[in-house]
């Protein structure tokens, strides 16, 4: 059955708004997806009629809220195919999930140990590990990225040594869109007893995530990139890791017993969720996960058709540099530059024509430096985008190229 994009678009009222001279053409879903009406409706209902704190009240509204919050955890467990619901920890998003790991693993590291990341990482998967290195004396190592051939599993393998304690890597590049061979990377980590942390921020609308198949120790993502609200995300933390990863925050809700002398913690997931959680966000994310799961391959096929047609056109233009790297699968990202033109200028002009893209370094400054470019123009497609939007983008690029 082919994907019905016109029907799907009806769930995203933001697509009806105008931007400058025309109806908004939203090509920035890699930064944030639009919000699905079923999600916003559910969050509104919670806020209007169901508000009460979870895990504490002696009244029925609180019990109902707790049930819905825990139901969302079960939905997310199914979304990533975790073995246990206690392996699903709600966070504010990808950045918090990585900070959680980099803080919680501190006792596991000592001076001289190595933490391995790749050259493709988002700043969120660089800076927290740098801070951990400053605190412990561990050393941050980076798997190189070849600007001609792309990422190589062989180089990753070569960078793993007997000193490597943690490897943290991106699932899909947010700058160029290609998938990394995460299953093989995790397998290489396992052979050496290295803790693996996967940044799945860009994977959530591209493939069915299966943490048991990937076999990673931790995996993180954000709700706002999968039709859900801001300020909610997930850290999947394998049960076997829960002894050695300390709670990122402490306080109410995460305790078993508190005295002025000492405190014992509750079991996971409570021990990892101090304070009042983002209840509405979690419930909204639960709804989004249920919407996304059954249609994820159809969405990907639709997005990939658009991506391929855009790439075919852009690669025929000698005035452009296109950054397209091999990978088993791709998100809807297409990154390019008009020769001798700053990406921000192109982004600003596209915006004047009502086309929203991202232009700049995409929070991957070291990668851009390695590529010797200031950044790129990044079109990031989602399942609500259409062939006619791609045609409008290409016509507008013709005008912009003429202008320069």
Ligand X SMILES: Cc1ncc(COP(=O)(O)O)c(C=O)c1O
Binding site for ligand X (CB under 6 A): 31, 93-95, 122, 124-125, 170, 174, 199, 201-202, 222
Min separation Cβ 367 and ligand X, Å: 11
CB of 385 to ligand X, least distance (A): 18
Q: Which residues of 3-40 are buried (b: 16+ CB within 10 A; e: fewer)?
A: bebeebbebbeebeeeeeeeebbbbbbbeebbbbeebb
Based on CB atoms, which residue is closest to ligand X, 159 or 170? Answer: 170
> Residue 7 CA to chain centroid, in angstroms?
26
- Choosing from 159, 189, 216, 363, which is the catalytic residue? 363
Q: Cis omega (within 30 of 0) on the bond before 269?
A: yes
Instruction: Select 363 or 400, whichever has its Cβ closest to ligand X.
Output: 363
DSSP string, 114-168: EEEEETT--GGGTHHHHHHHHHH--EEEEE--BTTTB--HHHHHHH--TTEEEEE
Please state the closest distance from residue 345 (CB atom) to ligand X, in A: 22
Q: What is the rounded distance in angstroms from the CA atom of residue 243 to the CA atom of residue 312? A: 50
Cβ 222 to ligand X shortest distance, Å: 3
Active site residue 363: yes
| Cβ nearer to ligand X, comparing 88 with 400 | 88
Smallest distance from ligand X to CB 126, Å: 10
114-118 sheet: strands from edge to edge: 88-91, 233-237, 218-222, 195-199, 164-170, 114-118, 139-143
Nearer CB in complex with ligand X: 202/335: 202
- Report the distance separating Cα 322 and Cα 307, nearest Å: 12
Residue carrying structure tokens 């048991």:
212
Give the residue with the Cβ less far from ligand X, 202 or 385.
202
Report the run of H or E that residue 56 belongs to, with start and end.
Answer: none
Catalytic residues: 363
């Amino acid at each position: 059955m082919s994907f019905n994009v016109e029907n799907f678009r009806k769930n995203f009222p933001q697509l009806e708004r105008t931007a400058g001279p025309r109806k908004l053409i939203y090509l920035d879903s890699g930064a944030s997806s639009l919000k699905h009406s079923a999600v916003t409706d559910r969050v509104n209902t919670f806020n209007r009629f169901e508000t009460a704190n979870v895990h504490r009240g002696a009244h029925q509204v609180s019990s109902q809220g707790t049930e819905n919050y825990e139901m969302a955890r079960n939905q997310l467990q199914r979304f990533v195919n975790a073995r246990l619901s206690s392996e699903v920890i709600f966070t504010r998003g990808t950045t918090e999930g990585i900070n959680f790991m980099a803080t919680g693993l501190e006792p596991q590291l000592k001076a001289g140990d190595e933490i391995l990341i790749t050259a493709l990482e988002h700043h969120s998967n660089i800076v927290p590990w740098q801070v951990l290195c400053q605190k412990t004396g561990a050393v941050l190592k980076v798997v190189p990225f070849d600007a001609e051939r792309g990422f190589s599993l062989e180089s990753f393998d070569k960078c793993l040594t007997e000193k490597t304690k943690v490897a943290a890597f991106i699932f899909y590049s947010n700058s160029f869109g290609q998938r990394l061979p995460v299953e093989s990377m995790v397998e290489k980590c396992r052979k050496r007893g290295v803790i693996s942390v996967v940044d799945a921020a860009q994977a959530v609308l591209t493939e069915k995530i299966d943490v048991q198949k990937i076999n990673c120790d931790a995996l993180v993502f954000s709700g706002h990139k999968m039709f859900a609200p801001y300020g909610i995300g997930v850290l999947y933390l394998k049960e076997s890791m829960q002894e050695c990863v300390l709670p990122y925050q402490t306080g109410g809700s995460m305790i078993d017993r508190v005295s002025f002398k000492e405190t014992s913690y509750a079991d996971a997931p409570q021990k990892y969720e101090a304070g009042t959680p983002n209840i509405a966000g979690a419930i909204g994310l639960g709804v989004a996960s249920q919407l996304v799961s059954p249609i994820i391959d159809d969405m990907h096929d639709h997005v990939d058709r658009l991506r391929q047609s855009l790439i075919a056109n852009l690669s025929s233009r000698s005035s452009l540099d296109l950054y397209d790297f091999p990978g088993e699968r791709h998100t809807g990202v297409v990154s390019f530059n008009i020769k001798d033109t700053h990406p921000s200028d192109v982004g600003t002009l596209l915006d004047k024509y009502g086309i929203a893209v991202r232009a700049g370094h995409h929070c991957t400054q070291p990668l851009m430096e390695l590529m010797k470019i200031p950044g790129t123009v990044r079109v990031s497609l989602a399942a609500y985008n259409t062939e006619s939007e791609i045609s409008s983008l290409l016509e507008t690029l013709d005008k912009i190229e003429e202008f320069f």
